[in-house]
Structure 1
C-alpha cells in the first residue's frame, strides 16, 4: 500500500497523520515529535487551541527534513469563526508554526451564517497559495450538503468518526460522490474499539494488536487516519500497518459489525 493518497486537487497527503492535541510542554513536544519523525511520520495535525503550535514549528524547523517532505495541518477553533476572524487565526497559526504555507486548513462546523463567511476565508487562503488544501470537521449530512451547494471550492478533506462502531455510510457516500477524501478522527473511538471481542479475535488471528486491526481496516477502505499517541511503541505499531493486509471476509465482517444484533456478520 502507498503511504500517501491523492486529494482531488492533486495534492499528496500522507495516510497517517500524528494528532497532537495531547502534546503539552516544550520538552514533551520536542521528544514526541522527534520520535515521530524517526519512526516515519511526516504529517502533523495541530491547532491554535492545542497551545503547542510554536513548539511543533520549532522542532520541525530544526529537523533534517525539508519543508516539501512535511505535511502540516491546522484547525480553526469554534471561536475563530467569521471571515476576518478566520484570516487572523490563520496568520496567527502560520506565524506560530513559522511556516510560509500550511498544507491543510480545517474548519469546524457551526451555524450556517458564520460557516459561509468562514469558508469564504478558507477559499481566499487557498487561492492565494497560503494553504494547499482545505477541509471540514464535525459536519453532518445536512451541513455538508449546504456547504457543497454554496461554496466556490469544494472541501478536499472531511474529518469524521470512522470505525466499525460509528460508520455514517450516508456521509461516506456524499464524500465519494463529490471526491472528498475522508480522514478518520478518533479512529479507535477513544480506545473503546480495542476491547470489542470480535476485534480482539481478529487481532489474535492475524497476530496484531486490536488497534492495528481497526486502523488497517480504515486504510484499506481508502481512509486516512489521525491516531494520537505519545508512546513511541504505539507510533511504530501504526507504521507497521503497511506490512499486512486484512482479507476480504474480515473487511466485510468489520464493515457490518454494528448492524448485526450479535455484533457478528459473516461474509459468504
Structure 2
C-alpha cells in the first residue's frame, strides 16, 4: 500500500515543534492543530492521493451560558480515504469527533461547533496512521520535548517582575494589583482552542498561538481587544472564584 519512503516517514518520531499544549481543568494536554495534520497528509500521501467525507453531522446540545452566549455542541462522523501512488489500492479510516461553538449569535455558534467537530474527527481518523499524526501523544509513557513550550517558559523566566507587570490599559493607567482568582471552567471553550488565560494586575489576558483567528470565541467570553498593546483583556470581577 505505502512505499518505503512513506513507511519510513510514518515511523519517524513526531517533531516536537509541531506539538501544541493546552490546559483542561488541571490536566495539561498535548495535541496537533488541524491545519498541521492536513499539511502532513498532503506531504506524505500526496495532494491527490487522499480525501475525506463527512458521513454524519448532527447537533448534540444547545444552551446559553452565564455570559449570555449560545453554546452549541456538534458530533461528526468522518471517513478518510487514502490511495497508493498509482491509485490501485486504497485504505479507509472512520472515527467520530465533537465540537463546541460559543458565540453571541446562534448562527456563529452553529458554524464554529460544526467546523470544530469535523476537524476533531479528521484528526482522530488520521492518527491511526501513526506518529506523524499524533498517535504517540496518547502514549503517556513517552515524553515529547516541546521546543516551543520550552522557549516560552525560558522567555517568561528571563523577564523581570517589573517587565511582566507593565501591561497598560488603553487609557494608559496602570492596572491596580489584584490577588483575586477566576473560574477556569468559565473559559473552557478557549482552553479547548489551545489558548490560555492569565491574571495580571486585576485583568485577565488571553495568550496563545494564532489568537486573532479565534477572535469570535474570545469575544464571546467577554474579552475586549486593546489595539495599543495588541492583547485581548477583560476586567477581573471582584470576588470571582
TM-score (normalised: structure 1): 0.23
More helix by share: 1
Q: Which has the larger radius of gyration?
A: 2
